[in-house]
Structure 1
């Protein structure tokens, strides 16, 4: 049987007004981590000055100052320099963003069980929540 140490991971870029996110923003993330639904693989904060210069803040060095010292990434550094450069280009000057890399623990169990049965996930695609909700609203209206 295949024993998967990790499941699929997703990168999220979460934007904020100003150069520092409010730590309360991540309460929902903390709840998901504590419940075991996801595992935090990496977490980086980018702050872009009005001049366009990007400051990279990592939890190991800056977590306490950001009020996020309770987050403990399993694979700090997974979001590499190239990822940071690409994602930083999407942050407007004078704003900040968090790069959050999450392992989907339920998907690890699914992939492991499929592999044990001789199958494998060939492709996965995420449909954003606003799109799913809009489609469900349309379907509800058609069914009414």
Structure 2
């Protein structure tokens, strides 16, 4: 991945009640990756104990036994996500739950980014509108 052909990079921090983890979200993530819509750059899950301490496991080792479970995420480590990020996210969730941290590239945008840059365009800002804000705006339109 070079600067010229990289799509936008995003991250997600997702609090997951450990008793409700069923693999459905993970299957959707693998599907997005397999279809080339996103490229996972970092993927870590931190399990937060009742005392607030946490154990981080790579997304490749889903059950925490030290063995590779998801080959599709093997070697996923960009350096964009560090131990401080994991600790900060673990501190935001309820004890007994898990937090998944995912840094990903929106690979669907690569051709657009490349074409625009080849013609002299510079990307000067990027952002994300929170889903709650979008839902409120759409609700207001439908009222």
TM-score by length of 1: 0.80
Shift of 1:20: 8.3
**How many residues were matched structurally?**
139
* Structure 2 equivalent of residue 119 of structure 1: 121
Segments of structure 1 that go 5 or more residues without pairing to the other structure are none
Measure the CA separation in 2 of the matches of 1:92 and 1:102: 25
Residue 57 to residue 120, structure 1, CA distance change in 2 (3 Å): same
Paired with 1:44 and 1:86, the residues of 2 have a C-alpha distance of 13
Instruction: Report the equivalent of 1:138.
Output: 140
Counterpart for residue 70 of structure 2: 69
Match of 1:12 in 2: 12
Aligned to 1:52: 52
Q: Is the Cα contact below 8 Å between 1:7 and 1:105 reproduced in 2?
A: yes
Q: Please say if 1:129 is aligned against 2:109.
A: no
Q: How far has the Cα of 1:98 moved from its partner?
A: 0.8
Alignment CA distance shift 1:44-1:3 (3 Å): closer
Q: CA RMSD in A?
A: 2.6
Q: Which structure 2 segments of 5+ residues have no match?
A: none
Moved more, 30-39 or 17-26: 17-26
Matched, 1:37 2:65: no
Q: Is the 8 A contact 1:40 1:73 kept in 2?
A: no
* Distance (whole Å) between structure 2 residues aligned to residue 64 and residue 95 of structure 1: 15
TM-score, L = length of structure 2: 0.81
